[in-house]
Amino acid sequence: MTGYDAIFIGNGIILSYAKQTEKNNSRRSFQLQKHKYKGSTMSTRRSFIKGFGVLTGVAAAAPFQSGCQTTSRPTKARYMGDFTAPKLATVKCAFIGVGGRGSGHCNDFSKIPGTQVVGICDLYQDLAEKSAKSIKERGHNPKLYWGDPNAYKKMLQETKPDMVVISTNWGNHAPQCIEAMKAGAHAFSEVPIALTIKEMWDIVNTSEATQKHCMMLENVNYGETELLFLNMVRQGLLGELLHGEAAYIHELRGQMKQVERGTGSWRTPQYAHSSGNLYPTHGLGPVAQYMNLARGEDNFARLVSFSSPAKGRALYAKANFPADHKWNKLDFKGGDISTSIIKTVLGRTIMVQWDETSPRPYTRHNLIQGTKGTLAGFPDRLAIEGVGNYHKWAEGEEFKKATAEYAHPLLKRLKETVAKAGLSGHGGMDGIMRWRIIECLQQGLPLDQNVYESCFWSAVGPLSAQSVAQDGMPQKFPDFTRGNWKNTKPLAVDI
């Protein structure tokens, strides 16, 4: 979701860019430059922000390679698809990034019985102290770290957490997940899990080598409607699945007013220098689990993608900032709306769209279609053989009546408990997700989302950018499971 402030790091790499000369048609050439980090001044941070926005632009321009994987898993590594970790009576939690999103994670996890917040890290002292103060009354006394972009590494070594929650900018998710797992902690990252295919392979290989969970915090999979649809699909109401539609369409131009600090300060350059779908997982995650992708039944195969012209961000900058403002100096490359079509191994199709610029109502589409009917969201509706007139959507009270008996067991079991504990966020889905994570760690259960799903869902980002760069040419998904998806258990419904 949106609103995190971040710790700006990048495996010790700070990015910068340079313009080519006139004789090279004045086209921008973005170059990675390695710098040693010295100090934690605001000027250094601003230098990093400028470079960070270039990250996926560089990745998109490079030829796609799925060859970062090895053909076989190292001897001591372990496939993590159905992995269960040893039970934890008390889960020691640490947090990297406690801005708008991260502070919510810290506050809610501190309310769950059997948790202990041991560390909080942010680039900004005021944010770290604010989160610590909010949980003190519940008996938590975490060590605080701020200022240095690498301070989180010190936190990992000193506090030795069991799990780390990462709510920083997109470019930091992969390196911080990897460092957390190497330090002996399970890693839980905001979306997307990584920005490049290589980073995704690095995450997979580290998880398998350390035998630590690495889960992307895709909260939408715990939404009431999404859980309802999952249960209905599992009960066979749609017959054989054929097609899905997933989206994240959410007008967020106002974030551009966060210039020096906050989400807009690092997302705005991202919109300028990247193409394709920058944020695919909110819509795609639930549809992928309806279809059991990467879980025994089917898997991602390839995609094609196209983007519209990029107009909205430049127009917004021109209308809301002085002519010499840095936002008006950006050359926005990414299309206002991205549309991709995924083909699965079984030949099913999924349309995935992303648009954070256009003035239109919020939607995630959330459509799943089978041989017996269709379920769709925004608004919730259905058309199923044997349930009324399937030539017309059943909506409102008719929808509620038809679906009343299919509420997901997880929601029925935890909804009241989570509400009483004071966990909330995005209609309750955040609270269910957070409670369920702790439950799995305490009871030694497999997580509801494994590391491979995190990478498959996030891979739409770089693959769509590469397809756009090649005028819609198909891009093959790497098999992050090395073939083991065929033997991975489907996500259970009765959990």
CB contact at 8 A, 106 and 117: yes
Which of 111, 68, 37 is CA-nearest to residue 434? 111
Please report the pLDDT score of residue 70 as a whole number: 55
- Give the domain extent around 362: 221-431+439-487
Measured between its terminal Cα atoms, the distance across the chain in Å is: 25
Report the distance separating Cα 462 and Cα 59, nearest Å: 7
Is 35 contained in some domain?
A: no
Give me the phi and psi of 423, to 5 degrees please: -85, 140
Report the distance separating Cα 155 and Cα 489, nearest Å: 36
Q: How many CB atoms lie within 10 A of CB 483?
A: 9
Encode the chain in three state secondary structure.
CCCCCCCCCCCCCEEEEEECCHHHCCCEEEEEECCCCCCCCHHHHHHHHHHHCCHHHHHHHCCCCCCCCCCCCCCCCCCCCCCCCCCCCCEEEEEECCCHHHHHHHHHHCCCCCEEEEEEEECCHHHHHHHHHHHHCCCCCCEEEECCCCHHHHHHHHHCCCEEEECCCHHHHHHHHHHHHHCCCEEEECCCCCCCHHHHHHHHHHHHHHCCCEEECCHHHHCHHHHHHHHHHHCCCCCCEEEEEEEEECCCHHHHHCCCCCHHHHHHHHHHHCCCCCCCHHHHHHHHHHCCECCCCECEEEEEEEECCCCHHHHHHHHHCCCCCHHHHCCCCCCCCEEEEEEECCCCEEEEEEECCCCCCCECCCEEEECCEEEECCCCEEEECCECCCCCCEEHHHHHHHHHHHCCHHHHHHHHHHHHCCCCCHHHHHHHHHHHHHHHHHHCCCCCCCHHHHHHHHCHHHHHHHHHHCCCCCEECCCCCCCHHHHCCCCCCCC
Q: Which residues pair with 302 in a beta bridge?
A: 343, 476
Instruction: State the residue for tokens 């605001």.
Output: 42
pTM: 0.87
Is 259 contained in some domain?
A: yes
Report the distance separating Cα 373 and Cα 186, nearest Å: 40
Q: How many CB atoms lie within 10 A of CB 261?
A: 17
Is 458 contained in some domain?
A: yes
Return the half-sphere exposure (C-beta side, CA atoms, 13 A cut-off) of residue 320: 14
Mean pLDDT by 10 residues, the chain (495 residues): 34 32 34 32 34 37 45 89 98 97 98 98 98 97 97 98 98 98 98 98 98 98 98 98 98 98 96 95 98 98 98 98 98 95 98 98 98 98 94 97 97 96 95 98 98 98 98 98 97 91
CB contact at 8 A, 455 and 206: no
Instruction: State the residue for tokens 């021109």.
Output: 318
Q: What are the structure tokens assigned to 320, written together?
A: 């809301």
Is 77 contained in some domain?
A: no
Is 299 contained in some domain?
A: yes
Instruction: State the residue for tokens 């969201």.
Output: 377
Please report the pLDDT score of residue 39 as a whole number: 35
Instruction: State the residue for tokens 């929650």.
Output: 165
Return the half-sphere exposure (C-beta side, CA atoms, 13 A cut-off) of residue 225: 20
Is 94 contained in some domain?
A: no
Instruction: State the residue for tokens 């975490």.
Output: 142
pLDDT in tens, 298-331: 999 999 999 999 999 999 999 999 999 999 999 9
Is 368 contained in some domain?
A: yes
Is 136 contained in some domain?
A: no
CATH code, domain with 385: 3.30.360.10
Q: How many domains does the chain have?
A: 1
- Longest CA span, the chain: 68
- The amino acid at residue 41 is T
